[in-house]
């Protein structure tokens, strides 16, 4: 009986250690920097039918720069955030960070008016969606940004 309870306790401890909590994550360091990636031109995964889509033809490249993240009165404040197409100039955006169930979620509206919702999937990777207008109306496209600096 002791061996079973010791093993169960060890698994429980390891399970909690693998899930990053707000206390384990220093958002002031994890989120600050330059993020580059893409969003798909069509709904669905950035991978289509088992193979990766051609990024240059089938995705829109984007850059997000987060200059500052700080905690104030129990809320996370993002400062100096900019977003846009690489090589075409980045525009200031008003980004917000919320912690939900220990997960960092970033929301902002692009300079073109498209809402973006991203989650810190793992350190160095933001995954989520961007709402874009199409001939068929608004659609949510998958978006992925990787930290490069």
Question: What is the mean pLDDT of the segment spanning 88-108?
Answer: 93
Q: What is the pLDDT of residue 41?
A: 74
Round to whole Å and give the CA distance between 27 and 101. Answer: 15
Round to whole Å and give the CA distance between 58 and 56. Answer: 6
pLDDT at 65 over 60: yes
pLDDT at 74 over 70: yes
CA torsion 113-114-120-121 (nearest 10°) is: -170
- How far is CA 35 from its chain centroid? 9
3-state class (DSSP) for residue 134? strand
Reply yes or no on domain 22-147 having CATH 2.60.40. no
Global confidence as pTM = 0.72
pLDDT at 17 over 90: no
């Amino acid at each position: 009986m002791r061996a079973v309870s010791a093993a169960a306790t060890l698994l429980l401890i390891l399970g909690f250690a693998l899930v990053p909590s707000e206390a384990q994550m220093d958002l002031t360091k994890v989120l600050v920097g330059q993020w580059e990636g893409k969003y798909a031109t069509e709904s669905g995964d950035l991978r289509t039918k088992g193979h990766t889509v051609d990024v240059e033809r089938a995705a829109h490249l984007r850059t997000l720069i987060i200059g500052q993240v700080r905690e104030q009165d129990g809320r996370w404040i993002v400062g100096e955030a900019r977003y846009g197409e690489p090589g075409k100039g980045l525009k200031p955006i008003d980004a917000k960070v919320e912690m939900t169930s220990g997960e960092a979620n970033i929301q902002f509206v692009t300079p073109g008016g498209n809402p973006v919702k991203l989650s810190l999937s793992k350190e160095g990777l933001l995954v989520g969606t961007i709402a874009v207008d199409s001939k068929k109306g608004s659609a949510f496209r998958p978006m992925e940004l990787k930290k490069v600096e």
